Every structure is written in structure tokens, then in C-alpha cells.
Structure 1
Amino acid sequence: MARTFAIGDIHGALKALDQLILKIKPKPDDKLIFLGDYVDGWSESAQVISRLMELDDQYNCIFLKGNHDQWCESWLAGEPADPVWLFHGGRSTVASYEKLSAEEKHQHLVFYNRLRPFYIDERNRLFIHAGFASMHGPEHERHENSFLWDRTLWETARSMNKRLSRDSLLYPKRLQLFFEIYIGHTPTINYNMDKPMKAANLWNVDTGAAFYGKLSALDIDSKKVTQSDPPQKLYPNEKGRNP
């Protein structure tokens, strides 16, 4: 039976990504859904993108766009580097691109340009980097930056009364729209958890690989979690995005 994996924020940790792929041993008919934020943090951001492009040739991959990916995409397209981006991991990404040729950078830009804002599968499961604000769903979102930055969807799910039934008038309408929702963006280590967290029908798969957490893959049917070693152990001479 084909499996579907939701894979959390990588943030330049190529060694963690390679370790994770070796552990899950994807088969040709499996689906790998990457939730965004491939860059900014550890030293191999450009190399992560090259690896993702290779994986796309081997497996059924879905790539979503994260806020850090948008920053990098703008810079590769010739815009000045956003100082906020540079402060939040962009410097390591810029450095990782120094050895790439102009043609390789162009191919990466093509990759960034085709990243999806969200993905909805045949079982009405939504995959999105951060969230959305429209009560009618992401297709009706007026502010597309919500896909990259919104934390209210996660905060709403996390603060819900666990006894609230799904058919209750008080159940948040945004959550009722989908069978399940899978996000990244907000590290679970913020809540002292190093594994994916579930709140209502929403799963958060960003387990803090940019900091002192791990990179995670969640089998969305069995809910089995596979994780890399903490990238800070794989890159012992680096800080990632840790202060």
C-alpha cells in the first residue's frame, strides 16, 4: 500500500534530510509532501534544494512554499536581500549559494517558482506551510501571505476545548472545512515537544530542525513518526538558528 509522508521544515539541514529519507525508505508509489522552509539555518540550504530536485525525479513529491523560501526566491530573482531575512538565517543561505554556478541558481529559481501555496488531497486533507484566514478555505484567501505566515489556525486548534464535538456550532469553521490539516512553520519545541503535535484535526510537523529539535516525517495514515538526529549534532560546529 502506498504511503504518504508529511515532512517538516528542513532549514538547510541536508544531513538530516538524507538521514530521514534513508529511514523511511520511500518506494516509487509513495508520496512525499514537503511543508516548506527548506532554507535558512544550517549551512547546506542550496544543497537541500538540489537534493529535493533529485528526489522529485525519483518519487512522487509535493513541494509547498514557506516564508523562508519566499525570501530566498526573491533574492535569487535579483531583489535586494531583506535584512529581516538575513537576520533570521538568510546569511547562511547566501553563503551556501556561493559555490553554485549561474545555471544552477537559475534552476533553483525555477524550483522556487513552482512551489505550491497549499495542497488538498483526494481525502480532503489540507497541507499548507502556515495557515489561512478565510472562513471559506485557502482557495478564497484574500491575503496569500497567510499561507506563509498565519499562526492563528494553529493557535485556534491548540486552544480548543478537547471535548468540543465536530458538529458543534462552536467548532471553528476553518477546521471543519477539512478532514485533516498538516502544517509546519511553528516549531513544536516552543511547547517542549520534539515530535509532531496534534490539536483538534490539525497536525504540526515542524519539530524544530532549525534550532535544537529534529527533522520529522509523519505517515499520515498510520501516524507513525520518523525522525532524524538533531541537526545540531550533525553540524556540531554550527549554531543553526539558535541564538
Structure 2
Amino acid sequence: MRTLVIGDIHGGLRALDQLLERAQVGFTDNLIFLGDYVDGWSESAQVISRLIEASKHNKCVFIKGNHDVWCEDWLRDGVANPVWVQHGGQETIESYKNTSDAEKKAHLKFFNAMPLYHLDEQKRLFVHAGFTSMHGVQREVSPKTFYYDRTLWEMALTMDKRITKNSDLFPKRLTHYKEIYIGHTPTLYYHKYEPMNAANVWNIDTGAAFSGKLSALDIDTKEIFQSDTVMHLYPNEQGRNK
């Protein structure tokens, strides 16, 4: 039995299917998805249907990302946030053109059920973006922080590598968890094309929405699995490369 954590998909169904095949995912594998399933490539609605189907066979956790919040709002209210439309939402709306009302309701239920974070028995935390409370996620004031924050990752990146977890200098908000897994901030920003590790934080977003690949990480062995570069799987599209 493995536990695989999977980065931001952004409508790239072809990349998701390729990744699951390359990782040889079986029914005994646990899958933890870090959010942002939609917005970017042309198959957002199809990605959600695929994830719902996967949850029937595998033990899955689907963390909610900021793009998922926007899509959920649109499915519920029928109103498209202009910011969302400019950041991949238009492609998502178009992907729903041939989707039945029943499917849309099922997708809305799926989005509504997504947790903002997941904490396993070994105190490994999974969250889309980050958190700011020095007391941990249970004391976070604003739910939006879980899917917008970048300071957690920025802090981990700038830490002196000589500071260990047993040191008084180790940031208090990191001490509550054995490991923290995030997406949201593409590693492409740092010219890295595989998941990155800083302190006890792992960033699994390898830029599938842009010119990167979709990635999965075995959280026990740290083995990495990746799709092809997603833009090559959608040669006639731009994704979020606009």
C-alpha cells in the first residue's frame, strides 16, 4: 500500500491519466490530491468526473484549492467571478458545455465536500497553499489562507539549512507537523521541474497549468512520478500561458 500525493492538475485530464498509469496506481494505493483540479487546459469538467470515479476504487482525499472555490461558486450561483474567468475560468466554463445538469450537481456536491486540509496519523499535513498561525492549522483565523497563502513556502525556502527541527530557531508553525505537503506555487518559479523540499515542506506543484508537468510523490519513499510536459499533451491550447 502506497500513499501518493498529487499536485495541481488544472484541467489536464491527459496528464492525470498518464501520471496514474506511469505510477502504476492500483486499488490499494491511497491518493491525496492537493487542489486546483480546474482552470487552464480544456478538460476541467472531465477531470472532476475522473476524480469522482477514482474515489469509487481508491481511498482518496481531495483538498480544495482557490481555483476550486471559484468553480464551486460558479456551479452553485451561475455567476462567473471576472478574476476567475481571466485565470483559466473561461476554459472551465467551456468544458461544461456538454455536461448535464445532473453531472453539474454531482460536481458541486464533490467540491462542497472537499476539506481545506488533511492531517494523517503520522502528523503529516496536506494543504493547498499554506497557513500562517504559529499554533497550527486548527487555530488559523481565515479559511482563505489555506488556499491562498504563499508565506509558508517562502519562509521554508529562505531558512538556513543548519537550523534543525530541534532548534529554538525553527519556525513554530512548522514544528507541529512531521511533514507538510503543498501545491499552489509552481516550482517553475524557481527553475525547478520536479517537486521541491525545503525544511519539512514539500511543494508538489510542478507547473502543470503552464509549461511544466503533473507530478506525484510517494510520501514514504519520496519516489517521483511525472507526466509529459502538459502543454505538449494539448498542442493546440495555451493553458494558462497567456
What range describes the TM-score normalised by the shorter chain of this pair? Answer: over 0.9
The AA in structure 2 aligned to 1:69 is: D
The AA in structure 1 aligned to 2:59 is: N
Instruction: Extract structure 1 runs of 4+ deviating beyond 3 A.
Output: none
- Report the alpha carbon displacement of residue 74 of structure 1 after superposing the two structures with TM: 0.2
2:103: which partner in 1?
104
Superposed, 1:116-155 pairs within 5 Å as 116-155=115-154
**Which runs of 5 or more residues in structure 1 are unaligned?**
none
Residues 26-45 of structure 1: pairs in structure 2 closer than 5 A: 26-45=25-44
- Look up the match of 1:212: 211
Output the CA distance in 1 between the equivalents of 2:128 and 2:143: 12
Q: Tell me which residue corresponds to 1:60.
A: 59
How many pairs were matched up? 242
State the Cα RMSD in Å: 0.7
In 1, Cα distance between equivalents of 2:29 and 2:122:
16
Return the alpha-carbon distance in structure 2 between the equivalents of residues 137 and 81 of structure 1: 33
Measure the CA separation in 1 of the matches of 2:227 and 2:27.
21
Unmatched runs of 5 consecutive residues or more in structure 2: none
Report whether the alignment pairs 1:158 with 2:146.
no
Deviation per residue, 1:105-157 (Å, 9 max, x gap): 00000000001100011111000000011111111111110001000000010
Q: Distance in 2 between matches of 1:148 and 1:238?
A: 26
Q: Percent identity?
A: 58
Per-residue deviation, 1:29: 2.1
Counterparts of 2:32 and 2:186 in 1: how far apart (Å)?
18
| Structure 1 residue 89: Cα displacement | 0.4
TM-score by length of 1: 0.98
Partner of 2:231: 232
Distance 2:236 2:78 in 1: 31
* Distance (Å, rounded) in 2 between the aligned partners of 1:107 and 1:169: 48
> Given residue 114 of structure 1, which amino acid in structure 2 is its aligned partner?
A
SS of equivalent residue, structure 1 residue 111: helix
TM-score, normalised to structure 2, is: 0.99
Q: Return the letter of the residue paired with 1:48.
A: V
